[in-house]
Structures are given as C-alpha cells and as structure tokens.
Structure 1
C-alpha cells in the first residue's frame, strides 16, 4: 500500500512541477525554469528543518512501538506514542517560529533576497508535519500502512491544488510571489494530511490492546526519561540521514548560483539552471518511490524479526529488498541516461535534458542508499548510514563547487549529486555485508538486469527517431519509446532467467496470476 501511495504521490509531484513551470513561463522569460529556481531555496531549507522535527522521530516511533508490541507490552507502545507526540508538537512549534523569523537571513544567504516570502510561506508546515509524523509513526509501528499511505495522497493532492492556484493568482504580480505561493501549498497539504490521521485516531483505528494487569508489576513501568532517551537515540541519527538529501538540494541552491555567477552566468539564467537541477532531482526521485516504501517497511520488519530471534528471516527480507531495488533501479537509471533529453522535454518542455542525463545514475545509487539504510537501521546499526551519507554529502559539496564553474555548468552539479549518492550507497553496501552477511547474488542481481538494461538502451536509442517520424510528435514518441523500452527489458530479463516467481509475487493483484502463467510456460523459476 505504501508503494502504491508513494507511486501516486510521486506521479502527482512529477505532474505538479511541469504545470507549475508552465504557469511561470509567461512571466520569467526563462521557460518557467527561473520561477521554479526561486522555489528551491525555501523548499530545501524547509526539508532540512523538517528532517530534524519529523523524519527521525517518525521512524523512531515505528521502531519503538514495534519492539514493545513484539515483547507483549502495548502499554509501553502507547506511552512511546504519547511522549513522542508531545516532543514533536513542541519541537515543531519552536522550529516553525524560528524559521519564519529568520526568513530574510536565509534568503540573503541563498543569494536571492526576493525569496524571503517563500521562506515565510512554508514555515507553518513545519509544525503541522511534525505532529502528523507522530501519528504516521504510530500507524507504521502497528504495521497499518493504509492510513500512512492515504495521508500522503491527500497531503499531496491538496498541496498541488493550492500551490498551482496561488501561482496562477500571484505570478502575474511577481514571479517571487508566485514562488511563495508554490511553497505555501505545502502548508495546506500538511493541514489536510494531519486532519485525516487525527480523525482516524479519534475513531479508535490506532487502538492498542490493554496489557494484563498481572504482567505489570511494581517497577516494570518504563520510566519516561528512558523512553525519551530511546526515542532520541534512534531519531537523532535518522534525522541527520533525512537531512542529507535536502542538504544536497540546499548545496545546489546556495553553491550553484554563486559558482555560475563566477563564470558569468547570472540573474534569470542562473535561476533557470537551478530550476533544471531541481526538476531533474524530482525526476530521479520517481523510481526511488519503491525504495522509499521499502525503507519505511524494512525498519520495523527487520527489527521485528531480530527481536523474535529469527535472523534468517531478517536476512531473507534484506536479500529480497536488494533484489527488487536492482531489478527496478538498473533499468530506471539506464533509461534516464539514454532518454534524458526526451523525458525532460516530455515533462517540463524545457532544455534541461543534459542535466537529467548527467544525474541519471543518481537514481540507482539513491535507491540503493535508501534500501541499505533501512536494512542497517532495522538491524540496530544507526551510526553507519549516518556517517556514510555525510561522506556522500561531503563529496557532493566539493564536486558541486568544482564542477559547476567548469564548462559543464549545471551538468557538473548534477553529476556531483549522482557521485555523492554513489559514495553513500557503496559504503552502506559494505556495512550491510558486515552486519548481515552476504546479501548479494551478483549474477542475478547485477549482471542479468544490467545485460537486459543494455539491450533496452540500444533499442530505445534506435527506436526514438523512428517513432518521431512515425508519430509526428516528440512527446508521443518519447512516451511510446518508454513503453517499448520497458517491454524490451522485461522480455530480455525473462529470456535470460533474470526473473524469479517470487519477484512477481511482490506485484499487487496481478503478481500471482502472472507468475503462474509464466511458470506454466517455463519462463520463470521458483
């Protein structure tokens, strides 16, 4: 359910930015990319603060609730939630006020004083999302993923509708005000997402069973201070991990502008380059919706297996997660590289294709980084993913500073993002091997998907000009080429034995009948 919600949310987000770009286009003189560039600084800063106030505590609640339920202590699971809710409400309020008050300073540091309104517009969302994360963590810890997923969808829909309406209303007056309207959509979405979860909670849909009084003797009640320390011990490093990806966006927002100005690219041209980077990052996030769902599910699932002493089950879950990540991530990154120009034009209508192609490998490495982080955190290793992602961030910052001022320009910053995720993912893979033992089948997970993706790339490259001539439309040709490329990848993967029946069973609804049909024809094995 989370995977489906993630897909819908990412799909809506992918549609949101092109429409927003189109709404800015008549007013910024840069195909709408400059207007999108003005939204990047406030959005990145908001996500960094949100990582502190929400992301880590969300995962911490789910982990601690799952642990206590596995031990037969729902009373302590309930206390974990209540204490976390108080922490998050207080922290979210403090950070929201501080963020609002420091808006002019943040805008000045980003090199765009006119974005101060955008920083102020998004500030209230910090409080609402922080509180919402507590409820999401509770439902996640209870292994009830539908409320979590639906809150994502409702939040995204409202965010998009309000954001687009405010761009339409405000951009004719000022591109910067339109960008602030885009940022304010986040607040509206957060309010609706929180309201949905709160209604479910008040209706008793997250009710925990009562513990037997005989099992709770004197001194068995866990002290509140210990719960707080346990929450912070899990949340702090995870929050740091969650902050690194928006820090990469912030690095683009705060480094790219200044480095482009150093080589004579300034004003709206620099804003447009930043908009291309922002758009490209949103595209490589699309395939990562799968691993984001895996990450959310892996932490409590692996924790539960290890708490019950079933290490082999935890290992098998980790292997399956890596396998699914690579079966999707390798062709996704390959397709974005080969069809970068066409995909960017299809979605945004601009000329940022070279930037997307340069960032394409980042899709695979981001997916591996997310999955491996979920495995390590579920196994209780919080420190390694944090250190490794910080190492990736350091590489990203250094390379962005260096490559952006070369003839590569924005493509250099995009390549730096991909290499930063590559460093973080590589270090995580080594750490997960040390933690859980060998988890990779190199032939089945890397070689066969890689070979199928290579054939797919050649086919997509050869077919695109033919489809353009046949269909008379670049956008239709790109859509048809993507569909044909996916078919080529699937066919080659089946022919070389790269798909197993258990892989197909992970597909909702059609997975089992498809696996049975292919098994009868000898195209898949168990």
Structure 2
C-alpha cells in the first residue's frame, strides 16, 4: 500500500470518528439538558402527569417511526452511496424527492393522530386524559418529518455539524417552552378540575403544556437547518455544475428506492417503540385487573418513563450519535468493496460504544439512589432499584443500536427488522410471565426489556458475522472497559460514602463522586491499554491527547516506547 493510500484511509477513519464524536457530544448535551429540564417538569406534573406525558410520547414516537423517523437514515444512506459513485446531481435529487415525500406523509399522519387522539387515548391507551398531550404532539409530526430529511441530507454529505447544532437548539427551546407551558396549563387544568370534579385534569393539562416544548423546539431546529441549506446553496450549485454523470435518476425511481430502503428500517425501529407502547398498555391493563387504581398505576408508569427512562437514555444518546455517523461511512466502504476498512469501522464503532456504555452501567448501579436524590429529590426505593436493575440495558441497547446501523450500512436492511421481530416475541412472553405469573409489578417492564435487548445483541452479532465474516474482538472491547469500570465503581462508592458522611446534603457528595468516577475510569482505561496509539490519534485532537498521555505516563510502559 502506498503512503497516499494509507493517508486516505487514515483520513477516512479520522473523519468517521470525528463526525461521530461531534454528533455523540451534541446528543449527550441534549440529553443532559433533557435531564435537567425534566427535574422542574417532573415536579410540576407529578407522577400522574408524567404518566400522561410519557404515554402520549410513546404514541407520538410510534407514529413518527411509522411515518418519517427513518428518513434521516434512509436519506443519509442513499445520498452517501451516490456521492461515493460521484453522482452529485442524483444525490441532490434524492434530497428533493425525500423532502416532497416527507411533506405529504408527515401532513397525513399528523392529521390522523390529531383527529384520532380521542379514540387512541380512550380505547388503545386506557388513559383518556392523555388526549390533550397527544393532540399537541400531533402537530410536531409534520415538522419533524421535514426536519429529518434535512438532517439526513447533511449526514449523507459527511457532516454532522448542522444536525448537532440543530439538536442543541431544539432541546434548549424545548426545555424553556416545556417548563413554562406545563406550569401555565397545569394551573388552568387544576382550576377546571375543581369545577368539573376531575382531580387529574391538572396533570393532564400540564402534560399537554410540557409537550408544547417538543413542537416549538422542532420548529426552531427546522428554521436553523433551512438557514443552513440557504448558506450552503452556492456549494450545491457548484457540485451540480461539476457533475458529469449522464444518468439522471427519475423522482419516481428515487421514491421507489426510498420506500424500499425505509420499509425494513421502519419495521425494526417501530418494534423498539411498539415494544414500549405494548409494555405500558399491557402494564396498565394487568394492573387494573389486579385491583390497582388508575392513579396508582399511572404514578408507577410516571416513575418508569419520567425518571428511569430519562436517565437510561442519556448514554444511549451517544450511541445514537455514533450509529448515525457510521451509516454513510459504512455505505462508502461497502461501495468501494474495502473489506479491511469495513472490519475496522465495525471494530471501532462497537469498541468506542462500549467504552462509553460500560462505565454508565456500573455508575448507575453504584449511584442509583444518590442520582435520584440529586435530580428529583426522591429518596423512595422504587426509582433507585429500577435504575440499578435496568442499568445493564445501557450496554445492551447501545450495542444493539450500533449493530443495527452497521447492518444497515452493510446493505442488510432486513436483518435488524427480522431480529427485532423475533426479540419482540420473546420479550412479550417474558413480560407476561414476569407481570402476570411472577407479579413483579413495574420491575417486569425492566426485566422484559433486558430480555429483548439480549436477543437483539446476539442476533445482530450473528448477522454481522454472516454478512462480512467479522469476528468480534472481546478483550479491548468488553473485558478491559469492564475492569476499568469496576475499579471506577469501587472508588466512586468509597468517595461518595466518605463525602456523604463528612459533608452530607443533596448535591456535594454525588457531584464529587461523579467527578472522581470520570477521572478514575479514564486513568484505568488508558493504563490497561484499551486504546491503541492509532485509536487515540483517530479521536478529535487525537495527536494532542496522545502527547498528553505520554507526557503524564498514562499509557502502559510498553506503549510509551
């Protein structure tokens, strides 16, 4: 291999990790903002209001998946495939065709959910008062449809920056409007509830106010991306003029390919969401049958969706960022039939995902109760136990999310869908046993989701091996990060214990323990030799990071030579 070829491959690897890191950091920040604003939102809505809020969001997410949520992935994949073959005009036609498709489908689904919200909330959800939040969210379906195409186009071009910035803008606006909307409408609903005798009308109205932030935030992100397209227009014109491709794809063919690409992605991603809807619906019906009141089981559901899921989704966001960046990168490698590059990208994406996920898993076990106290001032046993038991899903869902994207990048679009279908069946059987036979109550939701995630990981790993003969490396991907995380966990527990005795309070001990956790894990990870010099160089500012590591002797001695 020539030096030029080697440099090109290094550049591609660097860019893949750079773009993945940009989007992962942005998603992490949005989730942190989400956790922070959910604290006052949870306090305003209460557990009952969080139940209405979470349930409406599950239906909204399901409608989004069935309509247009798969568009960013599909557009990114189709655009990057055409750019790899130097078909710039066809890549732009994919964008225009997908945009028209999203406008039509987004509008239809939005209207159906808006006018059908009453029937859905009453007959399907067993929660009639969720109708208000669901109607507000229905408006957002159209906005997010168009937003998804714009994000997918930029991702297909190989840049995650516009998507990253738009997500941060979206979440900031979402946080501000959600809190204000929930406060105002909760008071309005409470006043109306006193007159009508419906005590849950306040939480129901408050949930609707909270969902208003989702719609306004998405609209703000859409405006930003439209502005970004406007700024990028001259580059687009130059690309179209320089394109010498004679074959011009028709919009009819583009829509057909888009639908073929979307279908398996929709199916696999929809199962993840229908999984949640089925869980909550079955949970409500079983709890009602076992003698629980609506207030009791909606409060438990509020803890699950508003506290447990909110924390679990923070590390998952970073996996989603890396997953989004690997699809166009993997598509390009597949287009040029570079098997070594394919294996390298698979290895790096899974390894870096585990390096993030595994310490979060251990951290949630060690700091489950302190985190609930810190964020929600909740000293009760149920939220902390849910977080400790369900923390393993961070590792499993991160792994399955990235492996889904790997399979999609390998053009094995139907495999994640098939694997998700099999996992859903196993999951529902497990949920029935845990909820009805074992009567595990809210813990059955966590237990059955662990079963679902394990099935997805095993089936996806098998499919990846079958698709490209990739064999998963174990030591640096799983064993060393776990050892480093266990060291981190022991130190973190000790630090929290000491500072809790010395200082006490809600914030100090937990915040100091988290700071120690980050430092100890990073040190242990480097000292164990988990990352090679090339891995470190491939990170953003990798050369500087490697220099610092060598200067302070943070690498194993054999690597310092």
Q: Aligning the two structures, in what range does the TM-score lie when normalised by the shorter sequence?
A: over 0.9
Measure how far apart 1:212 and its partner are.
5.3
2:131 aligned residue (109, 116, 138)? 116
- Which residue of the partner structure matches residue 147 of structure 1? 162
Within a 5 Å distance, the mapping from 1:137-176 to structure 2 comes to 137-172=152-187, 173=190, 174-176=202-204
2:453 aligned residue (410, 421, 437)? 421
1:184 partnered with 2:184 = no
Measure how far apart 1:131 and its partner are.
0.9
**Distance of 1:44 and 1:390 partners within structure 2:** 19
1:313 partnered with 2:373 = no
Measure how far apart 1:506 and its partner are.
5.0
**Distance of 1:95 and 1:203 partners within structure 2:** 31
More displaced stretch, 235-244 vs 173-182: 235-244
State whether residues 40 and 253 of structure 1, in contact with CA within 8 Å, keep that contact through their aligned partners in structure 2. Answer: no
Specify the SS of the correspondent of 2:147: helix
- Which residue of the partner structure matches residue 27 of structure 1? none
1:380 aligned residue (406, 411, 426)? 411
**Distance of 1:400 and 1:293 partners within structure 2:** 30
Specify the SS of the correspondent of 1:387: helix
- Which residue of the partner structure matches residue 365 of structure 1? 396
Specify the SS of the correspondent of 1:138: helix
Superimposed CA distance per residue, residues 240-274 of structure 1 (whole angstroms, 9 cap, x where no aligned partner): 22223322331333122222223333232211210
Specify the SS of the correspondent of 1:287: helix
Q: Given the two structures, how large is their TM-score scaled by the length of structure 2?
A: 0.87
- Which residue of the partner structure matches residue 254 of structure 1? 281
- Which residue of the partner structure matches residue 263 of structure 2? 236
1:207 partnered with 2:236 = yes
Specify the SS of the correspondent of 2:531: coil
More displaced stretch, 90-99 vs 286-295: 286-295
**Distance of 1:475 and 1:423 partners within structure 2:** 38
Aligned-pair Cα RMSD in Å? 2.0
State whether residues 99 and 123 of structure 1, in contact with CA within 8 Å, keep that contact through their aligned partners in structure 2. Answer: yes
State whether residues 256 and 400 of structure 1, in contact with CA within 8 Å, keep that contact through their aligned partners in structure 2. Answer: no
**Distance of 2:66 and 2:39 partners within structure 1:** 29
**Distance of 1:103 and 1:402 partners within structure 2:** 31
Specify the SS of the correspondent of 2:232: coil
Measure how far apart 1:126 and its partner are.
0.5
**Distance of 1:302 and 1:34 partners within structure 2:** 44
- Which residue of the partner structure matches residue 503 of structure 2? 471
**Distance of 1:478 and 1:110 partners within structure 2:** 38
1:9 partnered with 2:39 = no
**Distance of 1:94 and 1:111 partners within structure 2:** 25
Contiguous gaps of at least 5 residues in structure 1: 25-31
1:434 partnered with 2:466 = yes
State whether residues 48 and 243 of structure 1, in contact with CA within 8 Å, keep that contact through their aligned partners in structure 2. Answer: yes
Superimposed CA distance per residue, residues 7-53 of structure 1 (whole angstroms, 9 cap, x where no aligned partner): 111111111221211122xxxxxxx2221111111101111111122
Measure how far apart 1:438 and its partner are.
3.0
Measure how far apart 1:213 and its partner are.
7.5
**Distance of 1:354 and 1:306 partners within structure 2:** 44
**Distance of 2:433 and 2:417 partners within structure 1:** 25
Specify the SS of the correspondent of 1:498: coil
- Which residue of the partner structure matches residue 291 of structure 2? 264
**Distance of 1:201 and 1:442 partners within structure 2:** 43
How many pairs were matched up?
A: 515
1:198 partnered with 2:229 = no
**Distance of 2:314 and 2:116 partners within structure 1:** 32
| Displaced runs of 4 or more, over 6 A | none
1:38 partnered with 2:91 = no
**CA separation of 1:158/1:353 partners in 2, compared to 1, >3 Å: closer, same or farther?**
same
1:397 partnered with 2:428 = yes
1:280 partnered with 2:308 = yes
- Which residue of the partner structure matches residue 13 of structure 2? none
- Which residue of the partner structure matches residue 21 of structure 1? 42
**Distance of 1:505 and 1:47 partners within structure 2:** 38
Specify the SS of the correspondent of 1:381: coil
Specify the SS of the correspondent of 2:317: helix
Measure how far apart 1:431 and its partner are.
1.2
Specify the SS of the correspondent of 1:253: helix
- Which residue of the partner structure matches residue 487 of structure 2? 455
Measure how far apart 1:120 and its partner are.
0.7
State whether residues 294 and 374 of structure 1, in contact with CA within 8 Å, keep that contact through their aligned partners in structure 2. Answer: no
**CA separation of 1:490/1:144 partners in 2, compared to 1, >3 Å: closer, same or farther?**
closer
Measure how far apart 1:110 and its partner are.
1.0
**CA separation of 1:504/1:288 partners in 2, compared to 1, >3 Å: closer, same or farther?**
farther
State whether residues 344 and 356 of structure 1, in contact with CA within 8 Å, keep that contact through their aligned partners in structure 2. Answer: no
State whether residues 89 and 243 of structure 2, in contact with CA within 8 Å, keep that contact through their aligned partners in structure 1. Answer: no
Q: Given the two structures, how large is their TM-score scaled by the length of structure 1?
A: 0.93
**Distance of 1:367 and 1:475 partners within structure 2:** 28
Specify the SS of the correspondent of 1:229: helix
**Distance of 1:177 and 1:149 partners within structure 2:** 32
Superimposed CA distance per residue, residues 280-329 of structure 1 (whole angstroms, 9 cap, x where no aligned partner): 11211111122111111101001111212322112111111111011121
Contiguous gaps of at least 5 residues in structure 2: 1-21, 191-201
Measure how far apart 1:507 and its partner are.
4.6
**Distance of 1:262 and 1:482 partners within structure 2:** 42
Measure how far apart 1:226 and its partner are.
2.0
